[in-house]
C-alpha cells in the first residue's frame, strides 16, 4: 500500500471516530415545559434558582399574554405599537412560568448581575439601543419585574458583552454593531462617554469574549484577535497572538470559557478556551452549508509569553454554548454543524453535547436531544447541577412551520454525574455561611451515604447567556481541608478567594464535589 493510500485510510478512520456516537452515550434529557410562552434569546439564573428568560419585543405576538389585560403601548415599536403579549418570563424549573413586562426592544442586548443580585440589562435594537433596564429577583412566589431607567448608555449597544468589575457595583459594556468601543455603567464620573478599542473593529467581532483577569485587567477577544486591557487607565497592556483558523465571534459564532481558577496557584493563572465557529468566509459569502469548525484553542492569558494550544472537538460546531460544570469540566452544547448565526443561515443541528475534561484535555460525546437548538438558543447551569436549555428561533418572527420552527419548549440536560448510581456518594449540604468575606476561613457541613475519593468545594457565577457566550461566567476551585466526621455528617474547612479580582462581589453557587459527584448548590453571597 502506498504512503498516500495509507494516509487516506487513516484519515477516513479518524473521521469515522470523530463522528462516532457511543451506543450507550451518557447523560439524559428531560422536557421541563412544553410551552414557556417565549423563545428565550437571553437567559439568566437568579440566586432564587429561577430563570429570567428574555426575547426581543419587535416580533409581534408571543405565545403568552401579559396578565390582567395589561398591554405595552410603545409608539416607537415597529411591529405592534399596542402589544398585549409578554416578551420576558420568570421560569421556575419546577415548571411554572410568570410573564414579565419589558418596554423597549432587547434584541441582541447584554447584561450582568450586580453584587446585590440585581440584573442590569443594557442596549438592544431600535428604541432599545441605548436603554438600561434592571430587575431585582424575588422568590418564586413574588412579583418582581423589569424597571426601565431614565438614564441612557453613552452610545447605542447592539451585540455587546458585559463584565462585572471588581467592586461588584459597576460593569463594563464592550463592543456592539458599528460600535468599536466600551463604556461603564454606572459612569465613573459625570459626563463620561465611551472609549474606542481597536480590537473591536472589523467583521465577525460582535459579542466579544470578555473576562476579568486575576490582576484586574480584562481579556477581550474579537474575531481571531485578543488584547489585555487595563480598563482603569484605558491602556492596552499587550496584544495576544492571533488564534489559528477561523473567525470565532458573531456572526461566525464560536464560543469561549474561562477555565477554572484554582487555589493551588493562588488563583493567579487564567486560561481561556475558544472553540468552534463558522468556516472562514462563510458569514461574508452567505454560505449556510459551509462545515463549521471543530478546532479549539487554549491560551494562558496571564503567561509571560502566551501561545495558543490547539486541538479538535469530536463534533464540529457553530452557535454552541460552553458552560462551566460544578466538576470543573466544560460542557459544549447546542448549535449546528454547518453555516453561521442568523435567520436561516445554519443547518444540520448539533444534537449531542460534548464534555471537555480540562485536566486531561479530553472530550466525551454525551446523549443527544431530539430538539434542535440553533440560532437564539441558550444553556445555563442550574443549582441542582442540570443544564437548563431553552430557545431557538431561526426566523424573524415566531414561525411554527418549516425547517427549525420557533422553539418554545424548555429542557434540562443531566450530565452523567447526576446518574442514579452515584446516589451513594452524592453530598448534600447541611450547613454553610450565608455570606463571605475575602480570605475568610469557613466550614461547610454535608451529609453523605458513603465517603469515597477526594472532596472539592467549587464556586460558580451565574452568567447572562446569549448568542453562544455566557457573559460573566467563572469558576473558582477553593482550598479545602480534609473532611472530618461531624456526628452523622461530615465537615470540610474551606478558604474563600483572596480578592475581588478573582470573584467580584456577587451571589455564587457553591457545590461540594465528592469523587466527581456534585451536591445540589447553595447560594452564598461573596462580599467585599
How crowded is residue 95: how many other Cβ atoms within 10 Å of its Cβ? 12
CB 121 within 8 A of CB 133: yes
Q: Hey, is 417 helix, strand or coil?
A: helix
Q: What share of the chain is helix, strand, coil (3-state, %, to 5)?
A: 10, 40, 55
- 113 exposure class (CB count in 10 Å sphere: 0-12, 13-18, 19+): buried
pTM of the model: 0.94
- List, as one string, the DSSP characters of 342-356: STT-EEEE--S-EEE
Residues in CB range of 250: below 8 A, 6 or more apart = 159, 204, 205, 206, 207, 341, 467, 468
Q: Which three cell numbers stand for residue 115?
A: 453584587
Distance (Å) of CA 49 to CA 144, 180, 325, 380, 456: 14, 35, 16, 11, 22
pLDDT at 402: 84
Q: In whole angstroms, give the CA distance from residue 108 to residue 105.
A: 9
pLDDT at 440: 98
Just give the CATH number of 424-526.
2.60.40.10
pLDDT at 25: 67
Q: In whole angstroms, give the CA distance from residue 328 to residue 358.
A: 7
pLDDT tens track of the chain, all 528 residues? 443 333 333 333 343 343 334 435 699 999 999 999 999 999 999 999 999 999 999 999 999 999 999 999 999 988 889 999 999 999 999 889 999 999 999 999 999 999 999 999 999 999 999 999 999 999 999 999 999 999 999 999 999 999 999 999 999 999 999 999 999 999 999 999 999 999 999 999 999 999 999 999 999 999 999 999 999 999 999 999 999 999 999 999 999 999 999 999 999 999 999 999 999 999 999 999 999 999 999 999 999 999 999 999 999 999 999 999 999 999 999 999 999 999 999 999 999 999 999 999 999 999 999 999 999 999 999 999 999 999 999 999 999 998 899 999 999 999 999 997 667 789 999 999 999 999 999 999 999 988 989 999 999 999 999 999 999 999 999 999 999 999 999 999 999 999 999 999 999 999 999 999 999 999 999 999
pLDDT at 371: 98
pLDDT at 424: 79
Q: Which three cell numbers stand for residue 157?
A: 449597544
- List, as one string, the DSSP characters of 59-71: TS--SSBPGGG--
CA terminus-to-terminus distance, the chain: 67
- List, as one string, the DSSP characters of 430-469: EE--SEE-TT-EEEEEEE-SS--S-EEEEEE---EEETTE
Q: In whole angstroms, give the CA distance from residue 334 to residue 506.
A: 28
Q: Which three cell numbers stand for residue 344?
A: 436561516
CB 223 within 8 A of CB 208: no
Q: Is the peptide bond before 259 cis (omega within 30 degrees of 0)?
A: no
Q: In whole angstroms, give the CA distance from residue 492 to residue 503.
A: 21
Q: In whole angstroms, give the CA distance from residue 93 to residue 390.
A: 12
Amino acid at each position: 500500500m502506498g504512503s498516500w493510500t495509507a494516509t487516506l485510510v487513516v484519515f477516513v478512520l479518524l473521521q469515522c471516530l470523530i463522528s462516532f456516537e457511543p451506543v450507550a452515550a451518557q447523560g439524559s434529557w428531560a422536557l421541563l415545559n412544553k410551552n414557556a410562552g417565549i423563545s428565550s434569546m437571553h437567559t439568566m439564573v437568579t440566586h432564587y434558582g429561577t430563570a429570567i428568560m428574555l426575547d426581543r419585543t419587535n416580533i409581534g405576538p408571543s405565545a403568552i399574554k401579559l396578565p390582567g389585560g395589561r398591554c405595552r403601548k410603545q409608539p416607537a415599536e415597529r411591529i405592534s405599537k399596542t402589544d398585549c403579549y409578554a416578551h420576558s418570563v420568570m421560569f421556575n424549573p419546577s415548571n411554572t412560568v410568570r410573564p414579565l413586562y419589558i418596554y423597549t426592544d432587547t434584541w441582541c442586548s447584554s447584561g450582568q448581575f450586580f453584587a446585590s443580585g440585581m440584573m442590569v440589562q443594557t442596549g438592544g435594537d431600535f428604541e432599545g439601543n441605548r436603554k438600561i433596564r434592571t430587575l431585582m429577583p424575588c422568590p418564586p412566589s413574588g412579583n418582581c419585574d423589569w424597571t426601565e431607567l431614565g438614564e441612557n448608555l453613552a452610545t447605542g449597544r447592539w451585540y455587546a458583552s458585559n463584565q462585572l468589575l471588581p467592586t461588584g457595583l459597576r460593569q463594563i459594556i464592550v463592543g456592539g454593531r458599528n460600535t468599536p468601543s466600551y463604556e461603564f455603567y454606572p459612569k465613573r464620573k459625570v459626563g463620561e462617554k465611551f472609549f474606542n478599542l481597536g480590537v473591536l473593529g472589523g467583521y465577525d467581532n460582535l459579542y466579544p469574549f470578555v473576562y476579568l483577569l486575576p490582576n484586574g485587567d480584562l481579556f477581550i477577544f474579537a474575531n481571531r484577535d485578543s488584547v489585555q486591557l487595563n480598563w482603569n487607565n484605558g491602556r492596552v497592556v499587550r496584544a495576544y497572538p492571533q488564534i489559528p483558523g477561523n473567525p470565532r465571534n458573531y456572526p461566525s459564532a464560536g464560543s469561549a470559557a474561562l477555565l477554572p481558577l484554582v487555589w493551588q496557584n493562588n488563583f493567579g493563572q487564567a486560561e481561556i478556551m475558544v472553540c468552534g465557529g463558522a468556516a472562514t468566509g462563510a458569514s461574508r459569502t452567505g454560505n449556510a452549508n459551509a462545515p463549521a469548525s471543530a478546532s479549539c484553542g487554549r491560551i494562558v492569558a496571564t503567561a509571560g509569553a502566551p501561545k495558543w494550544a490547539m486541538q479538535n472537538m469530536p463534533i464540529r460546531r457553530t452557535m454552541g454554548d460552553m458552560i462551566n460544570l460544578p466538576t470543573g469540566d466544560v460542557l459544549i452544547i447546542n448549535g449546528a454543524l454547518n453555516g453561521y448565526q442568523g435567520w436561516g443561515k445554519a443547518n444540520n443541528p448539533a444534537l449531542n453535547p460534548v464534555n471537555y475534561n480540562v485536566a486531561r484535555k479530553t472530550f466525551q460525546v454525551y446523549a443527544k436531544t431530539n430538539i434542535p437548538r440553533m440560532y437564539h438558543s441558550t444553556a445555563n447551569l442550574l443549582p441542582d447541577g442540570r443544564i437548563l436549555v431553552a430557545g431557538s428561533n431561526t426566523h424573524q418572527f415566531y414561525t411554527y412551520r418549516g425547517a427549525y420552527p420557533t422553539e418554545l419548549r424548555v429542557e434540562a440536560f443531566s450530565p452523567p454525574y447526576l446518574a442514579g448510581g452515584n446516589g451513594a456518594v452524592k453530598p448534600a449540604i447541611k450547613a454553610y455561611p450565608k455570606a463571605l468575606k475575602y480570605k475568610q476561613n469557613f466550614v461547610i457541613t454535608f451529609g453523605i451515604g458513603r465517603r469515597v475519593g477526594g472532596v472539592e468545594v467549587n464556586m460558580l457565577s451565574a452568567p447572562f447567556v446569549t448568542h453562544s457566550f455566557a457573559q460573566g461566567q467563572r469558576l473558582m476551585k477553593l482550598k479545602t481541608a480534609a473532611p472530618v466526621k461531624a456526628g452523622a455528617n461530615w465537615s470540610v474547612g474551606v478558604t474563600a478567594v483572596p480578592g475581588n479580582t478573582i470573584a467580584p462581589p456577587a451571589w455564587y453557587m457553591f457545590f461540594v464535589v465528592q469523587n466527581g459527584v456534585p451536591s445540589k448548590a447553595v447560594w452564598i453571597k461573596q462580599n467585599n
